[in-house]
Each structure stands twice: as C-alpha cells, then as structure tokens.
C-alpha cells in the first residue's frame, strides 16, 4: 500500500515514516524541504497547497501535520493561523485526496475538541476552548462531510498527550524540572490523566491502515492506563535516578497561586483530570498497546538523558 504521511518531519511523523516502511508500506513523506529519497516538499499547508504530486498513486493518507498556538501570537492571530492550516488546509488536502482515488484518510486530531478536562468517550459532546481545539473540531466536521459525499473512508484519532523520544513542549519542560531536583508542591495531586506513548500511537496508525474497517470512525487512543500528575513525576524521577521531594500542598492553594501568577490554564492541566475511553478502538481493531506506560516513560527518559549527555 502506498501512503502519504504529512508532517513527516514532526514529532509523530519522524517515527511513523520509518516504522511504516519497515512494515512494508510504500511511504511518501511530506516535509518542508523534501530533500531525501521518498520525500516531497510541501512548504506550506493551506487552501492553495498543490498535493497532486504527493498523492499520485496513494491509497491512503495519514494527516499528522498541524499548527499549534505560538506564545507570541495574539488570540486572533492564533485562531486565524490554526484555521488556515488545521481546518482549511486539512479539508483542501482531503478533497484532493478523494479526487486522486485515496480510499482511507486518517486524521490525527486531539481530545481538545472535547475540552480540557473530564472523561471522554464516543458519545461525549465537543466543547473546544482554544484555537487548536476549535480548528481541529471544525476540520473533523468538514472531513465528515467530504467523506460522506465522496465515499472516502475517514478515521479520526483523538489523542490525549503524546509522549516519547523527541517529545517537546510541556512534557519536556516537566522532565527538565524533575531533573533539576527542585522540591515540587504536587504531592497531594490525585488526578487522573490519559496519555499515549509514541510507539503505541504509530502501531495504532499501522493497524488502521491495514484493518478491514467498515464505515467512518472517531476513536480515542491511549496507553490504556491513567496516571496522576504526582505519580507521573515520581516515575520520571525514579527513572532519572533523582531523589525528588514532592510537597503535599493543598490543591486550593496551588490553584490560587497559579491564578495570581497568571498560570491558571497550566494549573488546570497539572491538577485536573482528563481521561479517554480507548476500549471501542481496541475492541474493533483487535488491538492492544505493544508497550506499557512504564516502558514508554522509561524509553522517553532514556532519550532525554542521552540528549542531555551530548550537550
């Protein structure tokens, strides 16, 4: 099977492309430069992107490319740019994919389409509250319409936090904080968070490409295990060999302090619960995570410490 992978140089794409090739897929990797064999240059994703050459002969598309909010952007700028890439760019790609004869379109979405906290399953309402979540939700709606009109099968994978070698953003900052050995006031946090290890995610995508799936699907993906922020920190510290002190500060004080510092959103992620039900996907695909959360966290710490050793 010939597959187009967008965002091939991103966090997910960098691992997905060689994995699919090792599994026997012919992969066209869409990157900004397209300088290597099997790559095609897509310098910008939007309403005018020409995907024809990249799509030639492809039976499936895995659309991992996306735009996240950047700190220096205003709310309006962030919304405009997120919609340009994540919504309009995705729909433009899907229309060209259907016209090119693509049979299956896998869209990498986010649990943020549902919101920032709660337990989410197939019948959960969508209530995004930031530019990224809104743009992904609007893309999901538009893609469903395209799939209905064209007959191209659509698989939407809604992801919680993805971690693994190469991770950045908040998870990387958390590892740096744990490595510092500074006391952290999160010992009393008993929330529950779903996550998905990169190795599990790319295996799910492979399974979705091969499986005889009937109809369009929206699935949540996770490791099948949930963890509290405090236990996540303890596990990272243990794997790093760091003797970390977790202080049991009451949650109301943590929220108050975060609000005073303008970090209320960060506090919601650290202190609140966000879990997903990935059982329907596992049942229908006959899939189970090849890696446990413990294995995934160990691999992530190994990567982090190897990177630090080379600096």
Is residue 197 annotated as a catalytic residue, yes or no?
A: no
Residue 183, in any domain of the structure: yes
Taking the C-alpha atoms of residue 202 and residue 17, their distance in angstroms, rounded to an integer, is 9
* 27 and 172 belong to one structural domain: no
pLDDT digit string, tens, across residues 160-185:
999 999 999 889 999 999 999 999 99
- Structural domain span for residue 137: 2-159
Q: How many CB atoms lie under 10 A from the CB of residue 73?
A: 14
pLDDT digit string, tens, across residues 1-34:
999 999 999 999 999 999 999 999 999 999 988 6
* 142 and 233 belong to one structural domain: no
Phi-psi domain of 4 (left: phi exceeds 0; alpha: psi -120 through 50; beta: other): beta
Instruction: Give me the CATH number covering residue 144.
Output: 3.40.50.720
Q: What's the mean pLDDT when you consider all of the chain?
A: 93
At residue 157, φ and ψ (nearest 5 deg) are -110, 110
pLDDT digit string, tens, across residues 205-259:
999 999 998 899 999 999 999 999 999 999 999 999 999 999 999 999 999 998 9
Task: Answer whether residue 68 shows pLDDT above 80.
Answer: yes
Q: What percent of the chain has pLDDT over 70?
A: 97
pTM to 2 decimals? 0.94
- What pLDDT is attached to residue 21? 97
* 52 and 118 belong to one structural domain: yes
- What pLDDT is attached to residue 72? 54
Q: At what angle do helices 198-210 and 293-309 cross, to 10 degrees?
A: 120
Task: Summarize the confidence of residues 255-276 as an average pLDDT.
Answer: 89
- Of 141, 159, 177, which closes a domain? 159
Tokens 């294995």, residue located? 295
State the greatest distance between any 2 C-alpha atoms of the chain, in Å, as a whole number. Answer: 58
Task: Answer whether residue 71 shows pLDDT above 60.
Answer: no
Residue of 137 and 43 predicted with greater confidence = 137
Task: Answer whether residue 43 shows pLDDT above 90.
Answer: no
For residue 71, CA distances in Å to 75, 190, 297 come to 10, 29, 27
- Of 116, 141, 159, which closes a domain? 159
- Of 159, 184, 213, which closes a domain? 159
Q: Which residue out of 19, 132, 197, 291 is catalytically annotated?
A: 132
């Amino acid at each position: 099977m010939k597959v187009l992978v967008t965002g091939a140089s991103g966090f997910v794409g960098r691992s997905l492309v060689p994995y699919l090739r090792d599994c026997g897929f012919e992969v066209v990797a869409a990157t900004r430069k397209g300088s290597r064999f099997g790559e095609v240059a897509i310098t910008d994703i939007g309403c005018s992107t020409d995907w024809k050459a990249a799509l030639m002969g492809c039976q499936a598309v895995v659309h991992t490319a996306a735009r996240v909010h950047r700190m220096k952007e205003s709310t309006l700028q962030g919304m405009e740019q997120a919609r340009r890439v994540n919504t309009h760019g995705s729909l433009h790609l899907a229309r060209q994919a259907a016209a090119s004869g693509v049979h299956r379109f896998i869209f990498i979405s986010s649990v943020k389409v549902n919101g920032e906290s709660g337990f989410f399953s197939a019948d959960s309402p969508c209530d995004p509250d930031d530019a990224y979540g809104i743009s992904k939700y609007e893309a999901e709606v538009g893609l469903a319409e395209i799939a209905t009109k064209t007959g191209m099968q659509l698989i939407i994978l809604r992801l919680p936090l993805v971690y693994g070698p190469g991770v950045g953003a908040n998870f990387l900052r958390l590892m740096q904080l744990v490595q510092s050995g500074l006391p952290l006031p999160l010992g009393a946090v008993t929330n529950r968070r779903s996550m998905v290890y990169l190795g599990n995610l790319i295996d799910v995508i492979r399974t979705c490409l091969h499986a005889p799936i009937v109809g369009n699907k929206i699935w949540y993906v996770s490791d099948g295990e949930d963890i509290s922020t405090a236990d996540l920190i303890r596990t990272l510290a243990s794997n790093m060999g760091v003797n970390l002190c977790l202080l049991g500060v009451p949650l109301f004080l943590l929220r108050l302090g975060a609000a005073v510092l303008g970090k209320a959103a960060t506090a919601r992620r650290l202190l609140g619960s966000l879990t997903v039900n990935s059982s329907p996907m596992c049942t229908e695909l006959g899939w189970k995570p090849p890696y446990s959360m413990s294995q995934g966290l160990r691999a992530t710490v190994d990567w982090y410490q190897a990177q630090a050793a080379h600096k």
